[in-house]
Structure 1
Amino acid sequence: MAEVGHFLANGAWQEWPAEQAAAVGEFLRAWWTWTLTQPDPPEPAHEIFALCTEASGTPEPWLGIGERLAGPVPDRHLALAVTEWEYELLGDTSPWTEREEDERKRKKLSAWLVRHAPARLRAHGASEDLLHRVRILGLELHSRWDDPYWPGHRYA
């Protein structure tokens, strides 16, 4: 799904006439919001997040929507996303693409998770291991390896 978002971005939809660009933006916001409120959406929420982030070039609006939609269903999607992304994020790589411009997006996502995810993950009943992995995201890369809760990931 991230590739679909990348293709949308390559289409420069944000530079289209205002009405058309607004329609694409509204569609992305509606799809993301709808996905977060569905117990079993057709595509996982973390995939739709990647699509929207790639299409818009920034994670901020999608993180903001996710922040406002707290509750059992969005929190479950958050827990699944963190579980899906933690390996790459702990290795300071993007969880969905390998483009050079993704460093800023990855940092924004990691910082948001460190600030906002722990309380929601606890409320969802996430494991202590997952909570520690989010906490470790807030450490510098090499300091992570010395943390007693480092999950033992190895990176080539």
Structure 2
Amino acid sequence: MAGPAAVVLPTALTAQQVSDCEGGIARADNLMEPWEETSRTFSGGRTRIAVLDRIEPALGAFHLMILSPPFDALGARQCRVVSYRATMGFARLRFEDLQSTYDPLKGLGLRLPVESFDGQGDAPVAGQLQVIVNQATGEISATLEAAQ
């Protein structure tokens, strides 16, 4: 007989860092391999999400790179990086559990489990990273819902 189910209640959402790719994090040698398992396309290939692994710091090496519309005059997509804080990434991104939705008013919604170090203890804190990519406006927002 199964025991009672554990209930995890979310805490408040906190904003995550979304930055331009020009900061050095979004380098080709940071793309995590195997590429076919750590990147995914949406919207007929117009938007690509990829995991970046900077190796160090080990407690925050993983970031998400987002290539998405709008396109510039030369046809290139915008490039953004989602990090836990500034140049600190996540301790773990469970990319295999990435879920996506689409809302015509908001855009492409992405949700995946992550772990991050919040400086409060020795163990990583589990949470759900939520990213909204508005391909019409180019706005990208990211929030982290931490589990209690």
| TM-score between both structures, scaled by the size of structure 2 | 0.21
> By percentage of residues, which structure has more helix?
1
* Higher RCO (CA < 8 A, seq sep 6+): 2
| TM-score between both structures, scaled by the size of structure 1 | 0.20
